[in-house]
Structure 1
Amino acid sequence: MDTFGVSRTVLREALRTLTSKGLIESRPRVGTRVRPKHAWNLLDVDVLDWYSRVAEPMAFALKLQEMREMIEPYAAGLAAASHTGDTFNALAAAHASMVGARNVDEWVRADLQFHLSVLTACSNELLIPLGTLIERTLEAQLRLNAKRADVFNASLAEHTAVFEAIRDRDAPAAREAMAGLLGVTRGRIEG
Structure 2
Amino acid sequence: MSGYSGRGVHGQVVAALGARIVSGELGRGDVIDLAALGRDLDVSMTALREAMKVLAAKGLVEARQKRGTYVRDREHWNLLDSDVIRWRSEAGDTAAVLRDLAEVRSVVEPAVASMAALRRDEHDLAELDAALEDMRGAVGAAAEVAADLRWHRAMLRATHNEMLARMDVFIEPALRLRDALVHESSADDPVPSHAVVVEAVRGQDPAAAAAAMTSLLDKAAQDAAGVLGHSGDAEEKETVSE
Same fold (TM over 0.5): yes
Query: Which structure carries more relative contact order (alpha carbon 8 Å, separation 6+)?
Result: 1
Residues in 1 aligned to 2:72 and 2:125: alpha-carbon distance in whole angstroms: 43
Deviations 1:95-122 (A, max 9, x none): 1222344554443332221112111211
Deviations 1:49-107 (A, max 9, x none): 43343351112111111111111111111111112222221111001222344554443
Residues in 1 aligned to 2:106 and 2:60: alpha-carbon distance in whole angstroms: 27
**5+ long unaligned stretches in structure 2:** 1-37, 227-242
**CA pair 33-110 structure 1, distance change in 2 beyond 3 A:** same
TM-superposed CA distance for 1:162, in Å, is 0.4
Q: Tell whether 2:63 aligns with 1:11.
A: no
**CA pair 135-190 structure 1, distance change in 2 beyond 3 A:** same
Q: Tell whether 2:110 aligns with 1:58.
A: no
Q: Tell whether 2:121 aligns with 1:73.
A: no
Q: Tell whether 2:161 aligns with 1:124.
A: yes
2:194/2:216 contact within 8 Å kept: yes
* 1:131 partner amino acid: D
TM-score when normalising by structure 1? 0.87
Residues in 2 aligned to 1:59 and 1:179: alpha-carbon distance in whole angstroms: 20
2:88/2:94 contact within 8 Å kept: no
* 1:121 partner amino acid: A
Identity %: 36
**5+ long unaligned stretches in structure 1:** none
Count of matched residue positions in the alignment of Structure 1 and Structure 2? 189
Q: Tell whether 2:208 aligns with 1:173.
A: yes
1:75/1:122 contact within 8 Å kept: yes
TM-score when normalising by structure 2? 0.70
Alignment partner, residue 139 of structure 1: 176
Where 1:32 maps in the other structure, the secondary structure is strand
**CA pair 14-156 structure 1, distance change in 2 beyond 3 A:** same
